[in-house]
Structure 1
Amino acid sequence: MKHWLFLATAIVAETIATSSLKASEGFTRFWPSMLVILGFAIAFYFLSLTLKVIPIGIAYAVWSGVGIVLITTISWFLFGQKLDLPALVGIALIIAGVVIMQVFSKVVSH
């Protein structure tokens, strides 16, 4: 179970780093740039811990799927990125894919 917490920590850190990347304005703003560096360092460290137990394909699928949903949500609220119906359907399909993998796949270590 702790490896799933490590993966969740990696995803949150990556989400903070990616959001800060937008706010850094091409690394021209100091504090957002520092958050990018720190966030990605934390994300990759915790991802490496996750990969000791969870297969890389599964970990990366969850990482990218959840990360896409979180970044898109943050972009919507913080940066004013508007989503149309196809984008919302696509996000719903990503969520469905992660859930299906977690619930039904025998490859996923529970």
Structure 2
Amino acid sequence: MPYVLLAAAIAAEVGGTTAMKYSDGFSRLWPSLATATGYVLAFVLLAQVLKSMPVGTAYAIWAGAGTAAIAAIGLVFMGEAMSAAKLGGIALVICGVVLLNLGSSH
């Protein structure tokens, strides 16, 4: 169950961050409200996850998966460029999350 809540927290954070891009510096009402809602929901869900999962593991997965997802959304939907450095950075984040998960299973 904690991984389901964590996935929902990641989705809420990704949704909030994506909406923030469209809020135009919080000058547009609906994207601004979607940003606030996404982040509040993400933190509420993450707080629930922390009841049954180590904070280091949960936060690493939340931040790493969110970062990778936002980078992919930027690339696919917002026309952002993908460089070798950016791709390498995303790969390192994902590897770090995997290593943290492997380390916490002992």
**TM-score in terms of structure 1 length:** 0.89
Residue 100 of structure 1: how far off its partner (Å): 2.6
Residue correspondence of structure 1 range 16-55 to structure 2 within 5 A: 16-55=15-54
* Alpha-carbon distance in 2 for matches of 1:28, 1:93: 35
* Alpha-carbon distance in 2 for matches of 1:29, 1:96: 37
Aligned residues: 106
* SS of structure 2 residue aligned to 1:28: coil
Name the residue aligned to 2:58.
Answer: 59
Residue correspondence of structure 1 range 95-106 to structure 2 within 5 A: 95-102=94-101, 104-105=102-103
In structure 1, the gaps of 5 or more residues are: none
Name the residue aligned to 2:72.
Answer: 73
Which portions of structure 1, spanning 4 or more consecutive aligned residues, are displaced by more than 3 angstroms?
Answer: none
* Alpha-carbon distance in 2 for matches of 1:41, 1:90: 27
* Alpha-carbon distance in 1 for matches of 2:69, 2:58: 16
1:89 partner letter: G
Cα pair 2:60 2:100 within 8 Å, conserved: no
Residue 99 of structure 1: how far off its partner (Å): 2.0
In structure 2, the gaps of 5 or more residues are: none
* SS of structure 2 residue aligned to 1:63: helix
Taking only aligned residues, the RMSD between alpha carbons, in angstroms, comes to: 1.4
Identical-residue share of aligned pairs (%): 39
1:31 partner letter: W
* Alpha-carbon distance in 2 for matches of 1:108, 1:60: 16
